[in-house]
Every structure is written in C-alpha cells, then in structure tokens.
C-alpha cells in the first residue's frame, strides 16, 4: 500500500465506549427539512473521556507510520483549543492478554475550535511505525483509543467537543 492511502474510516457509530470514563454518544440535528442526524461522541470540557475504535491492519499495509484525522466540532463554542489524544493497542496473535491491564501511550495534537458551532475540522495526529503505534502490524487486530485531554491547561475550549469521524492513513 502506498503512503497516504486510507486504511480505515470510522464514524461515531463505530465507537465503543470503554467501561469507565466514556465520552457520551449524542445526536446533532442537521438544518435541512427533514433534518439529518449526525451521530457524534461528546467529549466533556471538565473531565478526560474516552472512546475506542477497533480494526485489523490490512494485509497490504507496507509497514510505515500512521496519520490519523479526527473530524470534530463543538457543541456550542466558537473559540479555544481542544487537545486530542490517540493511542494504539495491538492485539498480536497469541501474545496479548486482553484481560491484562494495558498502558496506552498517547500521541497528542492541539486543535482550534471551528469558527462556527456546526462546522467541523480535522485534527491530525501522526504515529511512526513500531513502538509509537504499539508495534501494530499486518493482520493484527487493534484498538485505537481516542480521548480529549480536558484537564490539560492548554485545552481552553468550553463545552463539549463532538467527534464525528476518524480516518486512518498509512504515512
């Protein structure tokens, strides 16, 4: 697979809330008649919240890094920054005990809120190959964990950040 090719696309309905501190699944109505429904995960401004996305690395993955695009908007804010975190958990064949605790090693990006509530923007997080992506390789099932680092002093956007969709590309 060539650099820049899309490996996965998820929308919010593909997300799986973790057992503790999950982001809240929500619906935002579109402005058409009848209004569309945009399913989103709401990430609170006061506490770190999480949602997981699962997949299997395709057989034609060439072993490069990953570029993650997080499509998001704000429930009401039109200014301030949101800090997004993302981390992989590789579930390697006969090697990863999913009953055992796993420490997620997050990569982060600070992204400015869109200028209008109802607009969406893409925050971009990159991962090098190897350990930066938990050694996720061809054929490995994986979990991609997304979080808002709301308790970080640089996360200045008030209100919920709405996660609409994700795109994972090979770098």
Q: Can you tell me whether residue 132 is helix, strand or coil?
A: helix
pLDDT of residue 140: 92
Tokens of 55: 């997949």
The CATH classification of domain 6-170, taken from the options 1.20.20.10, 2.60.40.10, 2.40.50.140, 2.60.120.260: 2.60.120.260
Which of 42, 40, 7 has its CA nearest to residue 23? 42
Phi, psi (degrees; rounded to nearest 5) at 131: -60, -30
Which of 42, 51, 53, 46 has its CA nearest to residue 21? 51
pLDDT of residue 98: 81
Phi, psi (degrees; rounded to nearest 5) at 133: -115, 35
Please indicate, yes or no, whether the overall pTM of this predicted structure exceeds 0.75: yes
Secondary structure E strands in 59-120: 66-74, 81-90, 107-112
Q: What is the mean pLDDT of each run of 10 residues along the chain (171 residues)?
A: 84 96 95 92 97 95 93 96 97 82 94 95 94 91 97 97 97 89
């Amino acid at each position: 697979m060539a650099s820049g090719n899309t490996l996965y696309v998820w929308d919010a309905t593909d997300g799986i809330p973790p057992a503790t501190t999950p982001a809240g699944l929500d619906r935002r109505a579109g402005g058409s008649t009848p209004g569309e429904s945009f399913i989103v995960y709401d990430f609170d401004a006061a506490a770190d919240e999480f949602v997981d996305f699962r997949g299997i690395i395709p057989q034609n993955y060439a072993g490069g890094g990953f570029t993650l695009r997080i499509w998001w908007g704000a429930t009401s804010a039109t200014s301030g920054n949101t800090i997004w975190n993302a981390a992989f958990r590789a579930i390697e064949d006969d090697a990863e005990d999913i009953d055992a605790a796993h420490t997620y090693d997050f990569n982060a990006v600070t992204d400015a809120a869109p200028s209008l509530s109802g607009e969406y923007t893409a925050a971009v997080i990159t991962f090098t190959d190897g350990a930066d992506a938990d050694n996720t390789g061809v054929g490995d099932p994986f979990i991609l964990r997304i979080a808002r680092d709301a308790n970080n002093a640089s996360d200045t956007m008030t209100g919920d950040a709405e996660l609409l969709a994700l795109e994972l590309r090979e770098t």
